[in-house]
Structure formats: C-alpha cells, structure tokens
Amino acid sequence: MRDERVERQYQRLWSAIQVRRPLGGMDAASMDAGKVRLEEAARLATVNAHWGIATDIPIVTRAVVLWRRGMRVLLRWYINPIVEQQNAYNLSVLNALRDLRSENDALHEEVARLRERLQPEESATA
C-alpha cells in the first residue's frame, strides 16, 4: 500500500515539474536571451564620472565650459572614490552572474544526462 502512495505522489510531482518546465529543459531562445542580458550587464557595468562638458549656448559657450571644468576639478576628490566603489561593486556582481550562469549551464547538462538515463528505466517499468 505504501508503494502505491509513493508512486502516486511521484507521478503528481513529476507532472507538476513537467508543467513548469518541459522535458527538454531550457530552450535555445531562453539560453540566448540570458546570454544577451549578461552581455548587456557587462556593457553597462562601468560607470564614467566624466561626461562631456561642451554646451550649445552660443554666446557664453567658453564661460560655461570653463565653469564646468572648474567644478569637475573641485569635485573630483568627492566623486571619483564613489565611482570607483560603484565600478568595483558592478564588477563583482557581474563576476557572480557569470559564475551563476556557468553553474546553471552545468546543472542543465547534468539534468539532461540524468533524464536520458531515467527514460530507459521508465520505459522498462511501463
């Protein structure tokens, strides 16, 4: 009697898993989308503290540029350490994402191998 309950529970769990994720695991589109998102994160990871200081105001262009340059020099001591901290954090998060991505890929391969091993056993018991 216990074996039947265990088997029914196993079948219910297996059905629920199959509804959430088909037998093949992740499809190529999902894998490519994850790769694209990771590449985008890598592209955006570096923060630049220095934007262009040019202006489109025709009459006072030189004065505005000199003012902005002076403010940049005066605030460099304050802004640069913050930007360096942000860049270091972004890099560590990006490395963690890459590690998680490679671990996830390895787990998907292992699940696929285990499913291949499980399929002959299921056909033999059916």
Look at the block and give the residue holding tokens 């403010």: 71
Say whether pLDDT at 116 is over 60.
yes
Q: Give the SS3 label for residue 58.
A: coil
Kindly state the average pLDDT of the residues 19-35: 66
- What is the structure's pLDDT at 20? 66
- 34 or 39, higher pLDDT: 39
Please report which residue ranges of 24-60 form alpha helices under DSSP H: 28-44
pLDDT at 118: 83
| Residue 16: other Cβ atoms inside 10 A | 9
Taking every pair of Cα atoms in the chain, the longest distance, rounded to a whole number of angstroms, is: 92
Contact 49, 71 (CB under 8 A): no
Two structure tokens written together for 27: 């499809």
With contact defined as beta carbons under 8 Å apart, do 61 and 55 qualify? yes
Task: With H, G, I as helix, E, B as strand and everything else as coil, classify residue 114.
Answer: helix
SS3 54: coil
pLDDT at 119: 79
pLDDT value at position 21? 62
More confident of the two residues 95 and 24 = 95
| Close Cβ partners of 62 (under 8 Å, ≥ 6 residues apart) | none
pLDDT per residue over 52-109, tens digit each?
777 787 788 888 888 989 999 999 999 999 999 999 999 999 999 999 999 999 998 9
Q: pTM for this one?
A: 0.61
Give the pLDDT score at 86.
95
Q: What is the pLDDT of residue 57?
A: 79
Helix (H) or strand (E) holding 8: helix 2-20
Does residue 8 have a pLDDT over 90?
no
